[in-house]
């Protein structure tokens, strides 16, 4: 193994460790990935990190691209269409589009999200707004900046994992569990980066020699399962087949999701049995961990539970759609700032929507059109960016 490759692998291991440490800045991680790209001669990695570092070669055409797209989407004139097509061609000619996926482009479509500024600058703006206890500073919005940072951190994790696997284990065959784990990690990263990170940390926790870390890992798994239920099937007072679907009944809500999503009765039945088994595990283990009786919890029990999580997630993630996510903003969950920045509304109309959802459990397009000052173009743009489901 040559020195550059060895150094690159060492840095990749540092990056993967840094991603689990909230005290390490995302700028520091991106800078390391940039160096890794150069050491390993991985031009796509180098290019993507250059984008995150705000290099002018990428920043100007990408900013023009998203600005012209938003402008054309709002106005839809021949002039705006031509401007967008020119910006798109320029980005394609420079080979920039192959570096950036649609999720990142969408997240950075507005100035309020930081767009293609240096990631360190975006981090600083976010921390300043949080410290000032404000939703925005007039240009940047806390929710949008947070979304940008979350997406870039998720992509950094995926890239670091991919290149680490490529260079560290290129001569080693994968075990069956590694194949399954990679599938779940990748799918969950697309669905919700925070959930993916929690599952990875739980897996890391059961690899420890300390019983208290096994306990913490299982507590994280239980919370993770609850959050997945929230993402897939939000709580409701309704009952299905006699099963309650309230906030506390997260196992039942995952059942309901599988009922809606899996067509095959046999596959649906197998998935439900697995979820019931995992639910009973959680109930018994929760009593142990809640009492702090770490000595009653064996490492085998902890590992078995985490592996069950992965097996259940395979059943679920094979049918889940990417747009079902706790990150997916809906008309019912969007903040006032998000309705403005993402939905393209003015402050007055955004406030009217907040008032509407206080009184209406089911908001429809027709009800939105009854709000004074709201026309069909406004509603169409809002619903393209914020889900009404």
Q: How far apart are CA 358 and CA 355, in angstroms?
A: 5
| All structural domains of the chain with their residue ranges | 3-168, 177-317, 336-385
* 3-class DSSP state of 51: helix
> pLDDT tens across 283-298, in order?
665 555 454 444 566 7
Nearest residue to 50 (alpha-carbon basis) of 63, 61, 35: 35
Q: Going residue by residue through the chain, which has 389 residues, state the pLDDT in tens, using 9 for 90 and above.
A: 578 888 999 999 999 989 888 899 999 999 999 999 999 999 999 999 999 999 999 999 999 999 999 898 888 899 999 999 999 999 988 889 889 988 899 899 989 999 999 999 999 999 999 999 889 999 999 999 999 999 999 999 999 988 988 887 665 555 677 788 888 877 777 667 677 777 888 888 877 778 778 778 777 777 877 887 887 788 888 887 788 888 888 888 887 887 777 666 666 676 667 667 666 666 665 555 454 444 566 778 778 778 877 877 877 777 665 444 434 578 887 777 778 777 888 888 888 888 888 777 788 888 898 898 888 888 888 888 888 76
Q: Which two tokens stand for residue 331?
A: 């008309």
Q: How far apart are CA 197 and CA 157, in angstroms?
A: 9
The answer to whether 159 touches 44, Cβ cutoff 8 Å, is: no
Q: How far apart are CA 282 and CA 284, in angstroms?
A: 6
> pLDDT tens across 100-152, in order?
988 899 899 989 999 999 999 999 999 999 999 889 999 999 999 999 999 99
Q: How far apart are CA 267 and CA 125, in angstroms?
A: 48
Compute CA 356 distance to the chain's CA centroid, rounded to the nearest angstrom.
28
């Amino acid at each position: 193994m040559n020195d550059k490759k060895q150094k690159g692998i060492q840095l990749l291991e540092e990056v993967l460790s840094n991603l689990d440490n909230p005290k390490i800045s995302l700028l520091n991680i991106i800078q390391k990935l940039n160096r890794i790209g150069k050491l390993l001669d991985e031009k796509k990695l180098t290019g993507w990190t250059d984008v995150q570092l705000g290099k002018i070669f990428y920043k100007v055409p990408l900013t023009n691209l998203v600005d012209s797209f938003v402008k054309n989407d709002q106005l839809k004139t021949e002039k705006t269409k031509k401007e967008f097509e020119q910006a798109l061609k320029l980005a394609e000619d420079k080979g920039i589009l192959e570096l950036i996926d649609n999720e990142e482009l969408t997240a950075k479509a507005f100035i309020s999200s930081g767009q293609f500024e240096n990631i360190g600058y975006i981090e600083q703006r976010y921390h300043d707004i949080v410290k000032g206890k404000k939703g925005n500073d007039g240009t940047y919005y806390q929710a949008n900046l947070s979304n940008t940072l979350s997406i870039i951190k998720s992509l950094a994790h995926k890239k670091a994992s991919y290149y680490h696997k490529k260079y560290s284990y290129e001569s080693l065959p994968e075990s069956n569990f590694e194949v399954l784990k990679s599938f779940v990690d990748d799918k969950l990263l697309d669905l919700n980066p925070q959930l993916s990170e929690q599952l990875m940390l739980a897996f890391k926790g059961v690899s420890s020699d300390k019983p208290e870390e096994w306990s913490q890992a299982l507590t994280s798994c239980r919370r993770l399962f609850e959050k997945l239920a929230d993402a897939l099937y939000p709580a409701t007072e309704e009952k299905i087949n006699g099963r309650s679907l309230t906030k506390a009944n997260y196992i039942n809500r995952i059942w309901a999701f599988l009922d809606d999503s899996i067509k095959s009765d046999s596959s649906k039945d197998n998935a439900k049995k697995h979820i019931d088994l995992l639910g009973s595990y959680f109930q018994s283990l929760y009593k142990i961990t809640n009492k702090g009786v770490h000595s009653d919890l064996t490492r085998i029990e902890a590992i078995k539970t985490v592996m069950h999580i992965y097996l259940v997630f395979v059943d679920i993630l094979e049918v889940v759609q990417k747009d079902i996510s706790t990150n997916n903003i809906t008309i019912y969950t969007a903040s006032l700032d998000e309705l403005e920045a993402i939905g393209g509304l003015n402050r007055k109309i955004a406030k009217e929507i907040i008032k509407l959802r206080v009184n209406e459990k089911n908001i429809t397009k027709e009800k939105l059109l009854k709000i004074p000052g709201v026309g069909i173009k406004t509603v169409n743009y809002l619903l393209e960016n914020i889900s009404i489901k």
